[in-house]
């Protein structure tokens, strides 16, 4: 049925209330080149939108903490593996398979969390913002300094 000949002007479709919003909302900048600019910087999520110097400083501290926490998770994973090895030594041979399977599932969950976390850190770095990149580096330093005392400084994963 063709309705093109009908007059729709009196139905109020012309003004849907989207016109004046009191000025433009700042949009997130999506940089694909290295930059030090912090104007309308969004970090990973739309809601993590930096608008002030204080917001930038708080965000950089949060990035340092998040990156250091990654090293804490890696350290906890190593401690769990050590715990499982020691526990398996005291378990009778017939029960070792059951303990081993349960431990393997838990280690797989820990591994998945580490992998997800590493890729999230990679996304932080991929803002291409020099300040955020430095914060990731500082967080790695702090995390290794605090949590990496029993590990080699070489990495087996290059996700961050």
Residues 6+ away with beta carbon under 8 Å from 41:
28, 29, 49, 50, 56, 127, 129, 132
User: Does residue 21 carry a pLDDT above 60?
Assistant: no
- pLDDT score at 119: 96
Q: Which pLDDT belongs to residue 57?
A: 95
pLDDT tens digits, residue range 48-83? Answer: 888 888 989 999 999 999 999 999 999 999 999 888
Structural contact between residues 64 and 135, judged by C-beta atoms closer than 8 angstroms? yes
Comparing 109 with 93, which gets the higher pLDDT?
Answer: 109
pLDDT at 38: 83
Residues 6+ apart with CB under 8 A from 101: none
Q: pTM value?
A: 0.72
102-138 CB burial, b ≥16 within 10 A, e <16: ebeeeeeebeeebeebbeebeebbebebebbbebbeb
What pLDDT score was predicted for residue 110? 93
Q: Is the pLDDT of residue 36 over 70?
A: yes
- Percentage of the chain surpassing pLDDT 90? 39
For the chain, what are the domain ranges? Answer: 36-147
């Amino acid at each position: 049925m063709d309705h093109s000949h009908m007059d729709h002007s009196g139905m109020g479709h012309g003004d849907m209330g989207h016109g004046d919003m009191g000025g433009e909302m700042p949009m997130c900048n999506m940089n694909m080149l290295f930059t030090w600019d912090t104007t309308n910087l969004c970090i990973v999520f739309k809601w993590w939108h930096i608008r002030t110097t204080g917001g930038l400083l708080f965000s950089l501290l949060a990035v340092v903490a998040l990156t250091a926490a990654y090293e804490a998770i890696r350290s906890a994973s190593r401690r769990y593996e050590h715990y499982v090895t020691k526990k398996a030594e005291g378990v009778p041979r017939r029960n070792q398979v059951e303990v081993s399977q349960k431990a393997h599932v838990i280690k797989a969950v820990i591994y998945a969390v580490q992998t997800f976390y590493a890729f999230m850190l990679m996304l932080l770095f991929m803002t291409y913002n020099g300040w955020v990149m430095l914060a990731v580096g500082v967080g790695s330093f702090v995390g290794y300094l605090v949590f990496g005392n029993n590990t080699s400084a070489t990495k087996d994963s290059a996700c961050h």
